[in-house]
């Protein structure tokens, strides 16, 4: 009989985004949830015409900006993984050459 770990307790966290208070429920620590909300708020406020945009339009533009950040981060992770694979292969070849009787 295996025991499963209980899922983390969902916590309510009050955050402010674009001047509006929101109560979010999350499995993540409150500090993480606040940091995510702060990033969304910062992204919204960085929009050139933020004060005059309709809320839905502002949310869409902020979502596009954050998604762009995500896609760039994924590309960087892929690039770094490829670099690690290449370096690992190079080191393996060097080690193999050093160990072979010669």
Nearest alpha carbon to residue 61 among 45, 72, 82: 45
In whole angstroms, give the CA distance from residue 75 to residue 67.
12
> Mind listing the pLDDT tens digit for each residue in 58-79?
999 999 999 999 999 999 999 9
At 23 the pLDDT is: 98
At 53 the pLDDT is: 95
Neighbours of 66 (CB within 10 A): 15
Query: Any idea which residue has 């010669």 for tokens?
Result: 102
In whole angstroms, give the CA distance from residue 70 to residue 85.
23
At 100 the pLDDT is: 82
Q: Where are the domains of the chain?
A: 11-99
In Å, how far from its chain's centre is CA 47? 20
At 33 the pLDDT is: 98
At 24 the pLDDT is: 97
Residues 6+ apart with CB under 8 A from 11: 25, 26, 27, 29, 30, 33
């Amino acid at each position: 009989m295996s025991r499963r770990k209980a899922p983390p307790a969902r916590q309510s966290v009050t955050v402010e985004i674009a001047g509006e208070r929101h109560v979010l429920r999350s499995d993540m620590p409150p500090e993480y949830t606040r940091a995510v909300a702060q990033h969304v708020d910062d992204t919204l406020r960085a929009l050139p015409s933020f004060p005059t945009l309709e809320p839905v339009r502002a949310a869409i533009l902020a979502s596009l900006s954050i998604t762009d950040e995500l896609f760039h981060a994924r590309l960087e992770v892929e690039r770094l993984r490829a670099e690690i694979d290449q370096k690992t292969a190079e080191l393996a070849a060097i080690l193999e050459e050093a160990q072979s009787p010669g």
